[in-house]
Chain A
Amino acid sequence: MSYQVHQAAQRLETIPPHVPADRVVELDYFSPPGVTEDPHLAWKRLHDGPDIVYTPYYGGHWIVTRADDMFAVMQDYETFSNWEFTVPKRGPGNPVLMPNQLDPPRHGPIRSVVLRPMSPKAVEPIEPVIRKIMADRIASIVPKGGCEFVSEFGGDIPPELFFEHARIPKDKLPEMKRFADAVARSDNEEDRRAARIGGANYMMAILDERRQVEELDDDVFSVIVRAEREGRITREESTSIALNVFFGGLETVSSALAFIVLFLARNPAHRRQLIEDGSLTQDATEEFLRRFGILNLARIATKPTTFKGLTIEQGEQVLLPLHLAGLDERKFPNPLEVDFHRKRAGHFNFGTGPHRCLGSNLARPEIRIFIEEWLRQIPDFSVDPDDKPVGASGVAMTMTRVPLVWPSR
C-alpha cells in the first residue's frame, strides 16, 4: 500500500465532492478551540454536531465522534486498517510498529510474542517496585510545598517504570523520552519521523545487548529475543515490536496522571472519598480512565465503503478520538461527572478489537498506585492560584502545565 503523505497542518483547498457540506468542520485536531483551558471540553463540543464529520486539515480526514461508531470502526479491521494509525499519514521512510500497524491475520502471531510479559499476571510482581519509585519521587517533592507537576514529576515516572519493567539500563532514559515526546506531541511530521527513526536505532542497540545474554529472562525484551532465536520473528520484526511496546506507554500514562492530579487538586470532596475508603482506588482508576481519555488514533480505509450513509473513499483516514467515547452520554449518563460508584464503567479508552492496548495492564497499576501514594503523602493540595494549568491536544491529549501548591511542612 502506498498513500500520499501530507505535511503538518496542510489544509485541503477544496472539499472532496463525496463529503456532504453539512459534515464539514474546521478543526485542526492538534488545536481545537478552547484546548488550552480544557482539552476534553474543547473536544466535547463535537457532540453538539453530527455523529461523523470531516475536516480539511492534514490533507482532509473524517472524525467519528460517538462511542458506538468508534467501536464499529475498530472492530472492522478489514475495511479500516491500522496501517496508518495516526493523522497525518506516516507514509514511507518510517520504522514500522508491530503489532500495531499490522492487521489480521499477520497481526495475531506477532502480538502473541509480547502478550505474556504484558499480562496482568506478569505485571503484578513489579507493583512493589512501582510503589517504591512513586513513593520516593513524591517524598522528594513534598518539602517544596508545590510543583509544576508535568516537568517535575508526571513526565518522568512512566518511562522510568517501563524501563524498570523491561529491565533496560536507566542511562538510556533521557534520550528515549525525548523521542517519545516528539512522536506524541510534535505537529511536524518530519520531526516525528526523525524521532521514530532515532527511537528505532536506540531499540536496536538495546536488543543487541539483550542478544548477548545466553539465559534469557521473562521480561519483554528477553521474550522478543527468544522468539527471534526460535525463528518465530525476524530481526526487523524484533525492532518493530520493541519500538511499539516502548512508545505505547510513555506519553499516554504521563498525560493520564496530569489530568488526574489536576482533577484531584480541584475536587477536595473526591480526594476525601479516596482517602477515607482505600478500596475505592481501583474503581476510581477506571472512572478516571473513562473521564480523561487520552488518544486520538486513526484508521485508513482499505476500500471505498459506506459508513452510516456516508461514502468513505479508499485511502481516507478516520480519526477516532477515543477520549470522546468515554464522554458519550448515549453510553454513560452524566459523562462529565466523575463518580467512583458508577455501575457501568466499561470504557474502551484502551481501544477495542484486535489492537486493544496491551500496555493497559501496566498503565492501570501505575495510575492506581500513583493515586494511593500521592494522597497518602499530599492529601491536601490545590492549583497554584497565581498560575494556570495548560492543556494540549495531539495524538495524545495532555496537560503541558499543572502548577500545584500544598501546605509545606
Chain B
Amino acid sequence: MKVIVDHARCQGHALCMLKAPQVYQLNDDGYNSMPPTEVPPELEEQARLGAINCPEGAIRLDKRAAD
C-alpha cells in the first residue's frame, strides 16, 4: 500500500502524525510534505487510521501498489 499526501490540502492539523507516528512525519513548519511512500503491511492499519483522521481529507491510500 502507498500513502499519497496532497500537500496543497494539508493545513498542519498534525492528526496523521499523532495517530500514526511511524507512517507520517511533519516538516519543520508543521506540515506534511512527505512524498508518496510505500507502507509495509504491518503499518497499513496505522496508515489507514492516520488517513481517516485527517480533517482535510488530504491523505489517499493507494492499495494497487500492494497488488
Binding site for B on A (CB under 8 A): 71, 112, 115-116, 118-121, 282, 286, 343-348, 350, 352-354, 356, 358, 360-361, 364
- A344 touches which of B18, B28, B52 (Cβ 8 Å): B52
- A118 touches which of B17, B30, B52 (Cβ 8 Å): B30
- B4 proximal to A (CB < 8 A): no
**In the complex, number of A-B residue pairs with CB atoms less than 8 Å apart:** 57
Contact B15 A120 (CB under 8 A): no
Contact A352 B52 (CB under 8 A): no
Known contacts A347-B55, A356-B11; A361/B18 CB under 8 A: no
Q: How far is the CB of B18 from chain A (nearest CB, A)?
A: 6
**Cα distance A121–B25 in the bound complex, in angstroms:** 10
**Cα distance A348–B18 in the bound complex, in angstroms:** 14
Within 8 A of A (CB), among B2-29: 11-15, 17-18, 26, 28-29
Across-interface contacts of B1 in A (CB, < 8 A): none
**Cα distance A358–B55 in the bound complex, in angstroms:** 15
- B34 proximal to A (CB < 8 A): no
**Cα distance A348–B28 in the bound complex, in angstroms:** 22
Q: Interface residue count for B (Cβ, 8 Å)? A: 17
Q: B14, B17, B26, B30: which has the most chain A beta carbons within 10 Å?
A: B30
Contact A121 B55 (CB under 8 A): no
Q: List 25 A-B residue pairs with CB atoms under 8 Å apart, sorted by A's residue number.
A: A71-B55, A115-B12, A115-B29, A119-B26, A121-B26, A121-B30, A286-B15, A286-B18, A343-B49, A343-B52, A344-B52, A345-B15, A345-B53, A346-B53, A347-B55, A350-B13, A352-B55, A353-B11, A356-B11, A358-B12, A358-B30, A360-B13, A361-B14, A361-B30, A364-B14
Please, which residue of chain A has its CB at the minimum distance from the CB of B16? A346
- B62 proximal to A (CB < 8 A): no
> Can you name 12 extra interface pairs (CB under 8 A) apart from A119-B26, A352-B11, A358-B12?
A112-B29, A115-B12, A119-B28, A121-B28, A282-B18, A286-B18, A346-B15, A346-B52, A346-B55, A352-B13, A358-B30, A361-B14
Known contacts A344-B53, A346-B52, A348-B55; A120/B17 CB under 8 A: yes
3 A-B pairs with least C-beta separation: A119-B30, A346-B53, A115-B29
Q: Mark B33-48, 1 if CB is under 8 A from A, else 0.
A: 0000000000000000
Please, which residue of chain A has its CB at the minimum distance from the CB of B53? A346
